[in-house]
């Protein structure tokens, strides 16, 4: 069973970002970073593990440092980022670096022998020591590849907790996803072979673990975190049509969680957010491939629960790295440790997947727009130094007087640094959605300055915005006959009529005749509004798609005294179109879009009186 809508997002190679906007500037910085980042440095720990020459490379830092139990995860992100960047730009230098990296990993993968299920660790579960881990790849199982021996997998099966071990399947997922992304971008045979090798290893190893024990593993905090392993294996099944990989994907079923979500229960409080979000993207894909409605109900239920009860205005979730109680959402704004960037990255992947199943459910793209504009776009520092060319946030804090902290090039590798390598080179991957047919339909999902051209279908669509100001024009042309659906943003004020807002599911439909060209001016105006946190006096100030922040170092919440007035009556717009900047002025403060709140303390939520 395939995608229920039988549609697909326009691939990156057919979507060109245009103009000069914060999106293109973020991408430019990330491309520069990927060009300077050494493949040999990223391969350092794998080569050390396999006893190979490290080619004179320096060891990376952060969670990639020697001895760190999560090392290797950023290597997978690096491969994915290179793959995405190559698809988006066609840069041959990035292609060469990508091919070199994957071929080296495939070469070392072939050193491994034996059956995966036969590997036994010599480590004491009560006293795990690096020196007790295996050094003999001939015992690790055919298909194994990683930046550490497979002892952590065996220890997880004994329910050894974090931090004695650290999410081995999470790290393996990044490599598997990277190989799949590489194959999609390049067709490199070694990438497919490496992915199949890992799939074979996982199927053999996990297939020997009793179901009850697996479920205990996946419920183990951090140690049992497996990223999107079920999604990646389902993708591998789609690529190869080998039923073994579909069966392997199901071995990661978190049945207790999936069942509660399918039944509409909110049992998220206390769960590590980013440990569980990717599991539901995998569930959604498994639902489309198997026809199992419980998978789909779980994925949809999770999305609705998170966005309806656990989400902040930026699209971010969580205090620290965990979901709190929905009723404590306001209370949890007391720290600079809210809203992990990886969580937003993975929530967008989930929303994107759910949209592909039912593109009439535009609320999924409404979430993607919210998180893209107010979390992902602000997550990169605009300041370039000799140590940090594309620094990114771990948390995007919303606490009172919070400041953002950014990673450097090689010393602070974290999970969010890894997703940060991907985020800013794939902006166009959700901009357009195509449903083929006798007369295809193209959904314009995200309004980024971009060109979408598909010569086979005769599609040529150009979007031009006035970012960050209102004003979107879409030119529809090409040799094909097709329909276009323009998504109406949930924040848009109606240009005429009662002044109300469109529903999130609204579209404007147009028909394109072969060979014609027409430009549509979309009159989506901005108005100030408040998004209140239920059961509290707190609200975020929104203006069009933007979360507006106030510069202030106070660690106490700021109060906006409305005095019975509408928020729009209390604010004045100040803008500089030449500089591409604006703010709202009122209550003794200037309010800026979230992406401009860099290098300063700021507030995102305010007490409303």
Q: What is the pLDDT of residues 248-260, one digit of tens each?
A: 999 999 999 999 9
Q: What pLDDT band is residue 209 in, cutting at 50, 70 and 90? A: very high
Task: Please count the other Cβ atoms lying within 10 Å of the Cβ belonging to residue 580.
Answer: 14
Per-residue exposure over 219-258, b if at least 16 CB sit within 10 Å of its own CB, e if not: ebebbbbbbbbbbbbbbbbbbeeeebbbebbebbbbeebb
Task: Share the mean pLDDT of the chain.
Answer: 96
Q: What pLDDT band is residue 505 in, cutting at 50, 70 and 90? A: low
* Residue 1, pLDDT above cutoff 80: no
The length of the chain in residues reads 609
Q: In what order do the strands lie in the sheet with 459-466?
A: 15-17, 450-454, 459-466, 469-477, 518-522
Tokens describing residue 413 = 């590798």
* Residue 94, pLDDT above cutoff 80: yes
13 neighbors 87 (Cβ within 8 angstroms): yes
Q: What is the pLDDT of residues 353-364, one digit of tens each?
A: 999 999 999 999
Q: In whole angstroms, what separates CA 266 from the centre of its chain?
A: 23
Q: What is the pLDDT of residues 269-285, one digit of tens each?
A: 999 999 999 999 999 99
Q: What pLDDT band is residue 3 in, cutting at 50, 70 and 90? A: very low
511 neighbors 483 (Cβ within 8 angstroms): yes
SS3 content of the chain, % helix, strand, coil (to 5): 40, 20, 40
Q: What is the pLDDT of residues 304-330, one digit of tens each?
A: 999 999 999 999 999 999 999 999 999
* Residue 437, pLDDT above cutoff 60: yes
Q: What pLDDT was estimated at residue 389?
A: 97
Q: Rounded to an integer, what distance in angstroms lies between the CA atom of residue 196 and that of residue 292?
A: 25
Positions of E strands within 155-202: none
Q: Rounded to an integer, what distance in angstroms lies between the CA atom of residue 190 and that of residue 548?
A: 47
**Radius of gyration in angstroms for the set of CA atoms belonging to the chain, rounded to a whole number:** 24
Q: Rounded to an integer, what distance in angstroms lies between the CA atom of residue 153 and that of residue 165?
A: 9
Q: What pLDDT was estimated at residue 523?
A: 86
Strands 589-593, 518-522: pairing kind: unpaired
Q: What pLDDT was estimated at residue 492?
A: 87
* Residue 2, pLDDT above cutoff 50: no
For residue 329, is the peptide bond before it cis, meaning its omega torsion is within 30 degrees of 0? no
CA dist list (Å): 226 to 174, 213, 231, 252, 276: 9, 15, 10, 8, 9
Q: 494 by DSSP, 3-state: which?
A: coil
Average pLDDT, integer, range 426-441: 97
Q: What pLDDT band is residue 203 in, cutting at 50, 70 and 90? A: very high
* Residue 181, pLDDT above cutoff 50: yes
Tokens describing residue 6 = 């039988």
444 neighbors 474 (Cβ within 8 angstroms): yes
515 neighbors 479 (Cβ within 8 angstroms): yes
Q: What is the pLDDT of residues 52-72, one digit of tens each?
A: 999 999 999 999 999 999 999
* Residue 593, pLDDT above cutoff 70: yes
User: How far separated are the first and last CA of the chain, in Å rounded?
Assistant: 53
* Residue 609, pLDDT above cutoff 80: yes
Question: Residue holding tokens 């190989």?
Answer: 179
For residue 163, is the peptide bond before it cis, meaning its omega torsion is within 30 degrees of 0? yes
DSSP string of 216-244? Answer: HHHTSTTTT--TTHHHHHHHHHHHH--HH
């Amino acid at each position: 069973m395939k995608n229920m809508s039988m549609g697909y997002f326009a691939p990156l190679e057919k979507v060109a970002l245009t103009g000069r906007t914060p999106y293109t500037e973020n991408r430019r910085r990330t491309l520069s970073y990927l060009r300077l980042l050494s493949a040999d440095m990223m391969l350092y720990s794998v080569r050390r593990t396999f006893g190979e020459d490290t080619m004179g490379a320096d060891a990376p830092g952060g969670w990639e440092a020697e001895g760190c139990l999560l090392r290797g995860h950023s290597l997978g992100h690096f491969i994915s980022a290179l793959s995405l960047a190559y698809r988006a730009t066609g840069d041959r230098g990035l292609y060469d670096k990508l091919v070199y990296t994957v071929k080296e990993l495939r070469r070392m993968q072939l050193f491994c022998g034996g059956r995966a299920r036969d590997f036994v660790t010599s480590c004491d579960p009560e006293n795990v020591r690096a020196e007790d881990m295996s050094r003999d790849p001939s015992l690790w199982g055919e298909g194994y590849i990683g930046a550490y021996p497979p002892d952590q997998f065996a220890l997880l099966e004994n329910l050894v907790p974090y931090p004695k071990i650290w999410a081995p399947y999470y790290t393996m997922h990044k490599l598997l996803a990277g190989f799949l992304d590489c194959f999609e971008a390049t067709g490199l045979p070694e990438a497919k072979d490496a992915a199949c090798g890992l799939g074979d290893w996982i199927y053999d190893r996990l297939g020997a673990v009793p179901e009850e024990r697996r479920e205990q593993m996946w419920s183990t905090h951090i140690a049992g975190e497996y990223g999107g392993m079920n999604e990646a294996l389902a993708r591998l099944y789609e690529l190869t049509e080998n039923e073994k990989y579909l069966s392997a994907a199901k071995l990661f079923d978190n049945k207790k969680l999936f069942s509660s979500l399918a039944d509409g229960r909110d049992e998220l409080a206390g769960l590590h957010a980013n440990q569980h979000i990717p599991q539901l993207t995998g569930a959604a894909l498994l639902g489309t491939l198997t026809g199992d409605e419980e998978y789909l109900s779980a994925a949809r239920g999770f999305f609705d629960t998170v966005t309806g009860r656990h989400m902040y205005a930026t699209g971010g979730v969580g205090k620290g790295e965990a979901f709190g109680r929905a009723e404590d959402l306001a209370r949890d704004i007391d720290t600079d440790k809210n809203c992990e960037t990886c969580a937003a990255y993975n929530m967008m992947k989930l929303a994107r997947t759910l949209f592909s199943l039912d593109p009439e459910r535009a609320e999924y793209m409404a979430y993607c727009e919210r998180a893209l504009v107010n979390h992902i776009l602000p997550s990169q520092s605009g300041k370039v130094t000799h140590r940090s060319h594309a620094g990114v946030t771990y948390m995007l804090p919303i606490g009172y007087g919070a400041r953002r902290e950014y990673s450097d090039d090689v010393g602070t590798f974290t999970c969010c640094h890894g997703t940060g390598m991907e985020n800013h080179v794939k902006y166009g991957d959700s901009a357009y959605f195509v449903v083929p047919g006798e007369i295809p339909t193209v959904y314009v999902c995200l309004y980024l300055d971009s060109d979408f051209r598909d010569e086979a279908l005769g599609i040529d669509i150009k979007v031009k915005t006035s970012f960050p100001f209102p004003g979107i024009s879409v030119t529809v042309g090409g040799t094909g006959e097709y329909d276009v659906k323009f998504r109406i943003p949930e924040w848009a004020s109606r240009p005429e009529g009662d002044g109300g807002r469109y529903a999130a599911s609204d579209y404007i439909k147009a028909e394109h005749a072969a060979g014609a060209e027409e430009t549509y001016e979309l009159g989506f105006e901005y108005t100030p509004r408040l998004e209140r946190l239920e059961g509290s006096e707190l609200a975020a100030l929104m203006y069009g798609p933007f979360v507006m922040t106030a510069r202030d170092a106070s660690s106490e919440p700021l109060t906006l005294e409305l005095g019975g007035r509408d928020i729009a009556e209390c604010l004045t717009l100040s803008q500089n179109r030449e500089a591409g900047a604006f703010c709202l002025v009122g209550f003794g403060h200037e309010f800026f879009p979230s992406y401009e709140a860099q290098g300063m303390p700021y507030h995102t939520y305010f007490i409303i009186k």
